[in-house]
Amino acid sequence: MANPDWHRLGPVETLKQRSLQTVTVAGRPIALSYEEGRFGAILGRCLHAGGPLGDGTLRNGYVVCPWHGWTYQRETGEGEPGSTDAVPRYLLKQEGGELFIDLASGTHPRAASHEPHPLARRPERAPGALRVVGISTTVMDRQAPRYSTSEDLLGVALEAAAGDGAETKLIRLDSLRFRACEGYYSKSANACTWPCSITQMDDKDELTAVYEALVHWADVVLIATPIRWGNASSLYFKMIERMNCIQNQITTHNRVLIRNKVAGFIVTGGQDNVQAVAGEMMMFFGELGFTFAQFPFVGHSRGWSAEDMENNVAAVKADQELREGTRALARRCLERARDLVAAGEGAARTERGGRKANAGFGKSPGPG
């Protein structure tokens, strides 16, 4: 063992009052625990994403990370049985009513030996034809399907793209089983990870299909939504909340995952508000890194008072001009994507300064 490097932590009786806490020793965070008459000390940074272990909880003798639930035995630093990861643990001693820690006694960390998630690979466009994914956000019971104006027009757009030589793919959100965003960013900015924290922990979560298409596969993304009380569908919002992990990579790591990709939108409804819905969608996808063709959306509404949905459906089915406009949207998006792909890979980082790319992210503000 190296020469001891003892540091005073404080009075034993005071430190006993909390079952788990963070103490900083020589700039190093330590998760100090007390249970069943014994202290334990392990490094206070989780091996997964750096979560503060001392701010977590104790469960059956294990420290549970407050960010994503990774666990470490509070005295040995070992992960739960079956895992290979371990954080450093440190020796403690009591003298004269004081508790001391030996920093030189720290064991070596062992990272978990699992393979990286497939989504974690570097975004890199594969050679080949342009690729278009259409995402339908309409909510539907597939056991008793009904006609959807937005999904119908999305199909028209994908057919036009395929006719122009593109590979196409349709994703119906209501056929995927995925959890709602659980607010990891609210715990800490760095707790919102890429791939999504939920995706990493739950192999049954099916939003991976959307992440794969947006980040790795598609050159063009076409989003179709009905209007629900003046807004996009509930499934649309459930999806984009989970896309925060893509945008937050810019905020926390200055890492742009969406490069040289085009987004277009199809918005339909019996009630008016097409421009506001499309504008909100454009803002969000612009924040992810998407660019837009000229006139990036098509919309249809018969106005606020048009509650006779049977007539609304009939109008969309019969409106050949609307269908041709949808085909033209697909062609404009493809043309824009061709230019972007020809220009190269696209920026992997942003210029630091202003808004969420501010270089001062994570720093405490100065006085005044």
Residues in CB range of 66: below 8 A, 6 or more apart: 51, 52, 55, 56, 57, 187
Least confident of 8-17, 64-73, 350-359: 350-359
CA dihedral 345, 262, 223, 355 (to 10 degrees): 80
> pLDDT band for position 271 (50/70/90)?
confident
Residues in CB range of 16: below 8 A, 6 or more apart: 34
Per the CB < 8 A criterion, the answer to whether 207 and 178 are in contact is yes
> pLDDT band for position 315 (50/70/90)?
confident
Residue of 176, 172, 165, 183 lying closest to 225 (CA atoms): 172
Residue 368 has pLDDT above 60, yes or no: no
Give the pLDDT confidence score for residue 344 in this predicted structure: 81
For residue 352, is it left (φ>0), alpha (ψ between -120 and 50) or beta?
Answer: beta
Per the CB < 8 A criterion, the answer to whether 216 and 290 are in contact is no
> pLDDT band for position 365 (50/70/90)?
very low
pLDDT tens figures, 131-176: 999 999 999 887 888 889 999 999 999 999 999 999 999 999 999 9
Distance CA 296, CA 77 (A): 53
Residue 305 has, within 13 A of its CA and on its CB side, a CA count of 0
Give kind and range of the element (H or E) at residue 160: helix 149-163
Distance CA 53, CA 65 (A): 5
Q: Quick one: how many helices (H) and strands (E) in the chain? A: 10, 14
Over residues 6-18, mean pLDDT: 97
Task: Pick the more confident residue, 346 or 314.
Answer: 314
CA dihedral 349, 350, 352, 353 (to 10 degrees): -160
Residue of 129, 101, 83, 106 lying closest to 10 (CA atoms): 101
Distance CA 234, CA 64 (A): 33
For the whole model, what pTM was predicted?
0.86
Distance CA 359, CA 250 (A): 11
Provide the CA 135 distance to its chain's centre, in angstroms: 17
> pLDDT band for position 364 (50/70/90)?
very low
Over residues 278-290, mean pLDDT: 96
